Amino acid sequence: MLSQKINYLIEELGHEVILCTSEHKNNSFVYQLSDKLKHIDLGINYIRSKSYFHPKNLLKSTKHFKALKATIKNEKPNVIISVNYTPEQYFIPFIEKQIPKVKEFHSSGISIKKANGMSGKLKYQLFKSFSRYNSLIVLNQDEVKYYPFENVTVIPNFIKLESHNTILKKENIIVAAGRIAPVKQFDHLIRAWSKIAHQFPDWQVKIYGDGDEKLAQILNHLISELKVPNIRLMGPTTDLKNEMEKGSVYAMTSATECFPMVLLEAQAARMALISYDCPYGPRNIIKDNVTGVLTPHNSIEDFSKLLKDLLLDQEKRKRLGNLSQLGVAALSEQRIMLKWQKLFKSLK
């Protein structure tokens, strides 16, 4: 999303954009970025194996504050946008008070709790510092309630609608994708599939993504332990679009999702969607039994049953896929970036 927004701001809207990172380490960019982008890396290099509240990282955050302050003073931006979850999200409002500042939230606010103990109280005080931003951006209306501040605005992610094959030959493939992390709950999908897999020997389940290697081992062990046929962890892919165009069903069993881009990609590929009704992204993308199927949150039994019904009904899969593709047009790049442009004008 960040790369696509940067490119649109530069190439379509004519803005100058500076991308300021804290630990790029001379790596190549994963996604293509405009050659007009100015990139500054501060070389902070946090110790990612430790908490940001670890003394060594706290020292690094002091260095980060000073380096970012000097960069902002030198570059004199018109707007500052915080897009990630490293420590600068808390101290940006205190660096330069005159420049409008925007904070984006890309995960569900349901995880924000007024925790007990010193650490919990500190985190809550830091959370309250978000009130100092001029505008807070959340991805859907359900998230607004978690941010008791003024100037909360809903701007969803967009999908860059690329050309798809006009005639898609759908295969008996169920696709899931995302980083291998506990929040994605791929173990739920494995268990749900284990209940019905023997009834669908000509179907495959493919899970794409990388991440926690230890968790990947646990998931593979679960597949072996349950003796689940026709399901595999495929690792990462550079061509998920092609895999989705072949697939018939997209399955999501996440604990939380704020606004999952992968559902938009599946819609564009005319897949029938089935997802847990988790907080709060899927329900803001899927219209139940119109563009997809929402199932009770964290109910493996219900997910398995509704997935079985979907696999047995080819006409329903085709209908959901076609309507799903039509619905995604409302989240086009042009429509959503117009909202950003209006926000910038309001801040000026």
Residues 323 and 213 in one domain: yes
* Residue 253: CB atoms within 10 Å: 25
Give yes or no: residues 191 and 302 share one domain.
Answer: yes
Which pLDDT does position 272 carry in this prediction? 97
Is 256 within a domain?
yes
Would you mind telling me the total number of residues written for the chain in this entry? 348
Question: The CATH number of the domain where 100 resides is what?
Answer: 3.40.50.2000
For residue range 2-32, what is the model confidence (pLDDT) as tens digits?
999 999 999 999 999 999 999 999 888 888 9
Instruction: Answer whether residue 167 is part of any domain.
Output: no
Same domain, 219 and 309: yes
> Residues 296-345: pLDDT tens digits?
999 999 999 999 999 999 999 999 999 988 878 888 999 999 999 999 99
The stretch 167-186 carries a mean pLDDT of 94
User: What does 277-346 look like in DSSP terms, one character per residue?
Assistant: --SBTGGGT--BTTTEEEE-TT-HHHHHHHHHHHHH-HHHHHHHHHHHHHHGGGGBHHHHHHHHHHHHHH
| Full residue range of the structural domain in which residue 61 is found | 2-158+332-347
Please give the model's pTM, rounded to 2 decimal places.
Answer: 0.84
Residues 201, 100 within the same domain: no
